[in-house]
Amino acid sequence: MSYVGGGNGTSANPYTKVEFDSMLSNDNWNGGYVEGMGYVAPNTYIYGNSVYWGSVSQDYYTFPDYVTSLSSDGLNQMAESLAGAIPGVGSYTAYLSQELGDMSREIQSELLKKGYNGSSSFTIVRTYMGSSVKFSVYNANNGELITSKTINMFGFWQ
């Protein structure tokens, strides 16, 4: 399927959002660049924020947007989802939120040490894997994996 003015998924000629949506909906997305979103990983099945187990979600961020996206509300929502995997353990929400925050700050630190700055853009892919969530950070300009961290429902991350 092709669209007038569509791309081929390279950084010089990205897919349109219509092409991306169509390929994603038809389960034939193989990764590539998308207008206004940067690089989109090939294993993406759900675009946007998701806290449901067994799903993959991703977001496109500039570095400043990524730093400000780490609000306590978002971390609390993720912590509640992780804590919800264990019946009766809702009291861990604050602890999990703190650990998610610590892990996110470690990712930010790695990005800064590797020379990324306010003009950098990233694709953050979250993969929900049973009792853990893997955060993979890709360079939105070239699709290269920069770093990844995994946190489990007990708040242990690496």
CA distance 144 to 11: 12
Give pTM, 2 decimals. Answer: 0.58
- Tokens linked to 111: 């990005």
Contact 130, 53 (CB under 8 A): yes
95-138 confidence digits (pLDDT tens): 777 788 889 889 989 999 999 888 888 888 888 777 888 888 88
Contact 102, 37 (CB under 8 A): no
**Distance separating the N- and C-terminal Cα atoms of the chain:** 41
Low-confidence ranges of the chain (pLDDT < 50): 1-4, 44-54, 72
Which domains are delineated in the chain? Answer: 1-36 (no CATH), 44-152 (3.30.565)
